[in-house]
Amino acid sequence: MEITNIKLLIDFGLVVLIWMVQLVIYPSFLHYRAKDLIRWHQTYTKRISLVVAPLMVGQAVLALFQSYQVFGTMEVFRLAIIIAVWISTFAQFVPIHHKIASGRVEPQMLHRLVNSNWLRTVLWNGLFVLDLCMA
């Protein structure tokens, strides 16, 4: 399988995943009682990590490889988008998930989870469109 096809498959997987998170998973957190969310969150984070981690790492590895191999404007732009998603993930979302895991559940924090996730949704969709145009 060509690297372009692998890249498109990974990016599409992340697009589908982020829309599920944006429209279903994060909004559903608002409907749990705090103690139920804390209990479910332990299971959720373990399971979602099995899907998210390989996709994000695969996406980053391919972007680094292609940037090294070609080092064109589009490859660097693509890599910059991926770095922005990683920064957003680890600066915004990981801390919120740690708070939930430690038993701190506040409605405004859960709303911030939903609202802030639009950035990653836009970035991953934009990256997929960019890759389709480059294919």
Tell me the DSSP string of 34-88.
HHHHHHHHHHHHHHHHHHHHHHHHHHHHHHHHHHHHT--HHHHHHHHHHHHHHHH
pLDDT averaged over the chain? 94
Query: 16-37 b/e with 16+ CB inside 10 Å = b?
Result: ebbeebbeebbeebeeeeeeeb
> CA-CA distance, 16 to 40, in Å (whole number)?
22
Specify the DSSP class assigned to residue 32: S
Q: In this prediction, what percent of the chain has a pLDDT beyond 90? A: 85
Q: What is the pLDDT of residues 72-129, one digit of tens each?
A: 888 889 999 999 999 999 999 999 999 999 999 999 999 999 999 999 999 999 999 9
Q: Which single residue is written with the structure tokens 């995943």?
A: 17
pLDDT at 45: 96
Number of domains forming the structure of the chain: 1
Domain that residue 109 falls in = 3-134
> Using 50, 70 and 90 to split pLDDT, how confident is the model at 18?
very high
> CA-CA distance, 112 to 89, in Å (whole number)?
13
Mean pLDDT of 23-29: 97
pLDDT at 71: 79
